[in-house]
Amino acid sequence: MTTLEHRLLEQWPKATPERIAADLLRLYGEPHRHYHDLRHLDEVLTAVDLLAPYAVDVDGVRLAVWFHDAAYEPGAADNEDRSAALAQAALPPPLAERVAALVRLTADHAPPRGDADAAVLCDADLAILAASPDRYDEYAADVRREHAHVPDNAFRHGRTAVLTGFLARDRIYTTDAAYALWEQRARRNVRRELNSLGAGATRRR
């Protein structure tokens, strides 16, 4: 087991069987993952730690992080639904239903008003947008690698739609802490990637 896997297991909620974590680690280690991998899991859990004071049930949020990309196929429309189904199969009720509901919210990162745990989860999953420029560029490149089967023009149009959607929001981050820490840096990174996508389009004309 790697050092990263050991660190992740240390963050697994103690009241939940560790064998579930071991199964999830195997999924996040699948070879077709370049961004949605163990490093991503670690980064989102770290972001949850920063936002923990805003959560009602932080262990429930952590479980949702573990499951949120458990099923991942690039370009599939049902990744979140399949990940939620894994949570429902692995966890006892009513925890299973709550974690599955949180996982489904990561499809569009639009937490319901007043749901503090959903806000923490969605903000933590989007923390990568506010990473250092070098880490952000690595993330963007890894997303492209996961979609290597998609032609350049189609990828550029799809990625542009996702990024402009974030910029169109009044706030990318819902919790006050995430907004204060990450909002402006995330917008700078996203604008920079959009500029690079536009430059790529220009070069291909």
Strands of 73-144, DSSP E:
none
Count the domains in the chain.
1
| pLDDT for 204 | 42
Whether the CA torsion 191, 197, 203, 205 is positive or negative: it is negative
CATH number, domain with residue 104: 1.10.1300.10
Domain that holds residue 11: 3-204
The two tokens of residue 149 are 């089967």
Give the per-residue pLDDT at 131. 98
Low-confidence residues of the chain: pLDDT under 50: 200-205
Give Cβ neighbours of residue 104 (< 8 Å, ≥ 6 apart): 80, 81, 84
Count of helices and strands (H, E) across the chain: 10, 0
Segment 124-169, tens digit of pLDDT = 999 999 999 999 999 999 999 999 999 999 999 999 999 999 999 9
Cα–Cα distance measured from residue 70 to residue 36, given in angstroms and rounded to the nearest whole number: 9
